[in-house]
Structure 1
Amino acid sequence: MKSVTFFLAGIVLLTLLTILASCSVIDTTALPHTPIVKMGANNFLQPEVDIKKGQKIDLVNTANDQHVLANGQWQGSKQVKTTTPGAPSVNLTVQGNQTSTIGPFNTAGTFHIYCTIHQGMDLVVKVS
């Protein structure tokens, strides 16, 4: 009788351990993710983004307007194209309601991306 009780207790304990092991909690903050920057009709809805080295950025066009993105920035009404060492080369056309990815950004620093169509549409990417 004692051996049957120990056997059943062992099965119950093994079942509980199996259930606990299968219900592990995952800390999603530790999982890598791609930052999202949304674009409106003629601007970046978030004009600055902070990322870590090695990350990419997803650009989400929330409008029907086309954007042509390049390395550089607007200075008043003048487009200033720049090539910053360590920045990914950006020459990208994003159609309306489309998502595109730029990167990875493998060098720490501050990088500028702008839309060649919409004056003043600048994005600052800070990489640490």
Structure 2
Amino acid sequence: MKKILGILIFFTLLTIAVSACTLSRSSNTTTGPNPIHMDNLTFKQASITIQKGQVVTLINDAAVVHVIANGTWNGTTPHPGIESGAPTINNLQVNGNDTSAIGPFNTAGTFQIYCTVHPGMKMTIIVK
């Protein structure tokens, strides 16, 4: 009887743990307008197109911290810089499994952002 009770408790706890992980992940994938997902070392998309006045939501799907700024990478060399009309993004820290909004992007144009700690992690935001 104790063995059966132990097995039932084990599977109950396992079910709760799996459910909690699933709920956490699903809430992270749908948070905010114009989502930009990030994994350990990359943006999951190379670019996004948005309308003037909108924001983008950075969604960190990994446990690592990303530090986002205006600029880009050229190979393994960082090129910080802000294009005219871009909102200032100055070392915005996005912790693991967290989200953060940037913008609004009030000027039409093409803007670059990058992670300052992960070489090659860059993306383009196109504002129409």
TM-score range, shorter chain: 0.7 to 0.9
Consecutive unaligned residues of structure 1, counting only runs of 5 or more, are 1-32
Which ranges of 4 or more aligned residues in structure 1 deviate by more than 4 Å? none
Task: Report % sequence identity.
Answer: 47
Distance in 2, matches of 1:93 and 1:76, equals: 22
Scaled by the length of structure 2, the TM-score of the pair is 0.73
CA RMSD in angstroms, aligned pairs only: 0.9
Map Cα deviations across residues 37-92 of structure 1 (whole Å, 9 max, x no partner): 10000100012000000000000000001000000000011100112111000020
Give the alignment of 1:11-90 within 5 angstroms: 34-90=33-89
Map Cα deviations across residues 8-33 of structure 1 (whole Å, 9 max, x no partner): xxxxxxxxxxxxxxxxxxxxxxxxx7
Letter in 2 for 1:59: L
Distance in 2, matches of 1:46 and 1:39, equals: 8
Distance in 2, matches of 1:47 and 1:96, equals: 20
- For the residue of structure 2 that corresponds to 1:113, the secondary structure is strand
Letter in 1 for 2:83: T
- For the residue of structure 2 that corresponds to 1:103, the secondary structure is strand
User: Is the aligned partner of 1:114 residue 2:98?
Assistant: no
Distance in 1, matches of 2:76 and 2:61, equals: 24
Work out the number of aligned pairs and report it: 96
Letter in 1 for 2:104: P
Distance in 2, matches of 1:95 and 1:88, equals: 21
Partner of 1:19: none
Distance in 1, matches of 2:93 and 2:106, equals: 22
Distance in 2, matches of 1:113 and 1:48, equals: 10
Q: Max radius of gyration: which structure?
A: 1
